[in-house]
Structure 1
Amino acid sequence: MDENNPVEFYKKLKEQLTETSKWPSNYLYKFIVETETDKIDRINTIFDNMGAVIDLKKSKNGKYTSVSIRVDLASPDEVIAKYKEVGAIEGVISL
C-alpha cells in the first residue's frame, strides 16, 4: 500500500476490483504478522461470523505467520473496509 497516499491507493484498488471481479465475490486476503503476538487473534475477530476460511502458516524460523483469509463479500467497498480494519493493527503487513 502507498502509505503516503492511502486515499489514492484505496480508490485505485476499488477501480481494479470493480473491473476484474463480479460481485458478490469470494476474496482472498493475505497478511504477514509476528507469530508471538495477539495480532492473529485480532485479525480473526475482524473476520468472525462472516464464514471466512482462515489459514495460518508459520515461517521457517517461526518468527512470522502468514494469514490467508478467504471470504465472500458483496462489494469492493466491503473488501476495502476490511483492509482498513486490519490496517489499524500496528505491524500487520498486507500483501
Structure 2
Amino acid sequence: MATENPEDFYNRLEQELTNSTQWPSDYLYKFIIPTDEDKSRQISRIFDNTGAVIKSKQSRNGKYTSLSVNVRMKNPQEVIEKYREVSVVEGVISL
C-alpha cells in the first residue's frame, strides 16, 4: 500500500478544517510514539507556551505511548504547522 504524499495530506486537512470548523477553535491532536521519555519531552516542548493540555497513556505491554494534545489554535495553518513540527520526532505516528 502506497503512503500518501505529506503535502497532499496537509492540503486536504487544511481544506477540511477550513470547511468544518470556526476558528479559533480547540483542536485535539493524537500521536503514538515508542515509549521513550525523550520523545515525550520533544512533543511537549513543541506545544510549550500554547496552553496545551497533554495526556499520555502507555499501551498494555508498555512498548508504546499515546499522547492526546488538546490546544486552542488560531487557524488551520497553525494546526498543520504543529503536525509538521511533530513529524520530525523519530517513530511518531499522527492519528
Which residue of structure 2 aligns with residue 39 of structure 1? 39
The within-5 A match list for 1:1-95 is: 3-95=3-95
TM-score by length of 1: 0.94
Amino acid corresponding to residue 51 of structure 2 in structure 1: G
Question: Unaligned regions of 5+ residues in structure 2, if any?
Answer: none
Amino acid corresponding to residue 6 of structure 1 in structure 2: P
User: How large is the Cα RMSD of the aligned pairs?
Assistant: 1.3
Q: Secondary structure at the match of 1:31?
A: strand
Which aligned segments of 4 or more residues in structure 1 are displaced greater than 4 angstroms? none
Q: Secondary structure at the match of 1:38?
A: helix
Number of equivalenced pairs: 94
Amino acid corresponding to residue 25 of structure 2 in structure 1: S
